[in-house]
Structure 1
Amino acid sequence: MSDRNQSQESPEKKAAGIYAASLVQDGDRVGLGTGSTVAYTIRELGRRVREENLSIVGVVTSFQSEAIAIEAGVPLTTLAQTPRLTIAIDGADQFDQNLIAIKGGGAAHTREKIVSMSADRFVIVSDPKKRSDVLSVPVPVEVMPFGKELAVRQLKELGANPVLRAAAKKDGPVITDNGNFVLDCDFGSIPNPKELAAKISQIPGVVEHGIFMNADEVVIGKTDGSIEILKK
């Protein structure tokens, strides 16, 4: 890890990410999510592969996670080769007391959902700031470019303020690994995320939304390096 990355280390994210890596056992098929917290998990798994001769294979959800896994020395496979995973580990933008989460800050939520649903156990890693009584952060919605205008109109009818996510270092929108656009949809407080998720899924042209309802547990890292585990 570079000096720059070390200076930006988050003890909460590091605690959660490293603990999650300890849940992986020899022979596991591991879904590897995207984001700064799960990056600690991937690097720790690489260390275990090197130093403990841990025998695993990983399925990544983005080019970013793939690069980290290759650098860390985590053996990779694909869902085509390994369709049933033992465990999936991923981060979240926010989660509530029912372990329903909003994800997609890295625009990888479609692949993240596919991978998490392919696993027997789905673990979210997080810091305490992501915990909320009521979900309220914008919901990322991946849409086909051809269906963007229809999706925007129907999302507005559901009460959202959809904003096309713009790329940070180039002109134009963010393009997902699947070749689609992302609409960040601010609904304000979301008292019934399950109902909202169902309505978003019915919009033609929507590929996937960032409301996840399949987490089995959430690992929350603390500043002192300890962790808290929430389970359904």
Structure 2
Amino acid sequence: MIRSFVRIVRSLHSSSGKLRMDSLENAKKNAAYKAVDEYVQNNCAIGIGSGSTIVYAVQRLAERVIQEELNVICVPTSFQSRQLILDNHLTLGNLETHPHLYSAIDGADEVDKDLNLIKGGGGCLLQEKVVASCTNRFVIIADYTKNSVKLGDKYKKGIPIEVVPMAYMPVKLKIEDNYGGTAKIRMAVAKAGPVITDNGNFILDWHFPDIDSNSWRKINMELSLIPGVVETGLFTDMAETVFFGCGRFVSEERRMKKKGLSTLRDLSDFKVTNNNVQLPVSLYRALLDAAKQNVWKVQMDRGAYDYRLQQIPRIYLSGQMPVRNTMKS
């Protein structure tokens, strides 16, 4: 009788664990599918990130390429994503031939309320940040466990910092002296010694103290200036959109809110009154089809909105995607 009871309890524990795992995998899948459906179009080059959620993104991309006969070039951020691209018979590209990407889709270890990210748990932070910097549409896909109010609330492994091997100790001491916390060299599991990145570097995981969320941009810049630091796993002001999956649904979408700019979600209220040439960055995607003539006004329910009155970033729109924002904020 007791043995039967123990078997039942074990079975229940096993079932609950499996249900939770299935829920997380469904969450990853649905976030990935939504991102690929929204941020991939024909005749474009896109960045393919790294991590477990990206597996579903590549899966969905392969489906769309076959079903819709899309021509898509895929630029990987790691050895893992390169193999995923090849295994799914997608077209492999690189930044030498495609330095300007239509979009980049990647995962994250944690996302705070301001869309600051911690990335690099898988050790690919340098290539991920380089690829992300080559597009205005950097899209994050994650399950609900990565959604937090403040960095460090949920992800407890610290901020990865890729460093030149000879400099890891001076960098470690400077980080601890300047900002507190502890910076530990990441050790390999299946080999003796430190983890070696795809670029031949070491990784320090900085377990940081309580830090004001508004300080991350400044801290990231300061960390990057330390001699020996190659790149940090802090991604600030980079993500345009984050899709958080929850079970069978995408539970939340967050869009970048830049100073003086509308969010992309707000664009549903806009109606073009004429063709446009010069508009704010956040309106680029919504108004690209109309970008042919020099008109400043966009009609809203509450009246025409004149962008010349606003001190906000602007880009010049033409029939092709701009390579960079040449106007200052």
Gaps of 5+ in 1: 1-6
Runs of 4 or more off by more than 3 Å in structure 1? Answer: none
Does the CA-based 8 Å contact 1:38-1:91 persist in structure 2? yes
Deviation at 1:64, TM superposition (A): 0.5
TM-score normalized by the length of structure 1: 0.93
Does the CA-based 8 Å contact 1:95-1:102 persist in structure 2? yes
Deviation at 1:87, TM superposition (A): 0.1
Matching of residue 143 in structure 1 with residue 163 in structure 2: yes
Does the CA-based 8 Å contact 2:112-2:148 persist in structure 1? yes
Deviation at 1:172, TM superposition (A): 1.0
Deviation at 1:8, TM superposition (A): 5.8
Match of 1:19 in 2: 34
Does the CA-based 8 Å contact 2:136-2:240 persist in structure 1? no
Does the CA-based 8 Å contact 1:32-1:61 persist in structure 2? yes
SS at match of 1:226: strand
Q: Distance in 2 between matches of 1:67 and 1:8?
A: 25
Match among 176, 195, 204 for residue 183 of structure 1: 204
SS at match of 1:31: strand
Match of 1:231 in 2: 255
Deviation at 1:17, TM superposition (A): 0.9
Q: Which has the larger radius of gyration?
A: 2
Q: For 1:186-225, list aligned pairs within 5 A.
A: 186-191=207-212, 192-213=215-236, 214-225=238-249
Deviation at 1:18, TM superposition (A): 1.2
Match among 176, 182, 187 for residue 161 of structure 1: 182
Shift in CA distance, 227/74, structure 1 to aligned 2, threshold 3 Å: farther
Does the CA-based 8 Å contact 2:243-2:250 persist in structure 1? no
Matching of residue 44 in structure 1 with residue 60 in structure 2: yes
Partner letter of residue 45 of structure 2? Answer: R
Shift in CA distance, 197/129, structure 1 to aligned 2, threshold 3 Å: same
Q: Distance in 2 between matches of 1:185 and 1:51?
A: 44
Matching of residue 91 in structure 1 with residue 112 in structure 2: no
Matching of residue 130 in structure 1 with residue 146 in structure 2: yes
What is the aligned-residue RMSD (CA, Å)?
A: 1.4
1:176-211 Cα distance to aligned partner (Å, 9 max, x none)? 000000001000333221122122111100000001
Q: Distance in 2 between matches of 1:162 and 1:141?
A: 9
1:80-137 Cα distance to aligned partner (Å, 9 max, x none)? 1110000001011111111111100111011000000101210010111111111114
Match of 1:53 in 2: 69
Q: Distance in 1 between matches of 2:27 and 2:137?
A: 22
Q: Distance in 2 between matches of 1:190 and 1:46?
A: 41
Match of 2:50 in 1: 34
Identity %: 38
Higher RCO (Cα < 8 Å, 6 or more apart): 1
SS at match of 1:22: helix
TM-score normalized by the length of structure 2: 0.66
Does the CA-based 8 Å contact 1:92-1:102 persist in structure 2? yes
Does the CA-based 8 Å contact 2:164-2:230 persist in structure 1? yes
SS at match of 1:59: strand
Match of 1:81 in 2: 97
Q: How many residues align?
A: 226
Does the CA-based 8 Å contact 2:62-2:89 persist in structure 1? yes
Does the CA-based 8 Å contact 1:109-1:208 persist in structure 2? yes
1:117-167 Cα distance to aligned partner (Å, 9 max, x none)? 101210010111111111114100000001111111101112131111111
Of stretches 109-118 and 15-24 in structure 1, the one that deviates more from structure 2 is 15-24
1:20-59 Cα distance to aligned partner (Å, 9 max, x none)? 1112111121001100111210121112222321110010
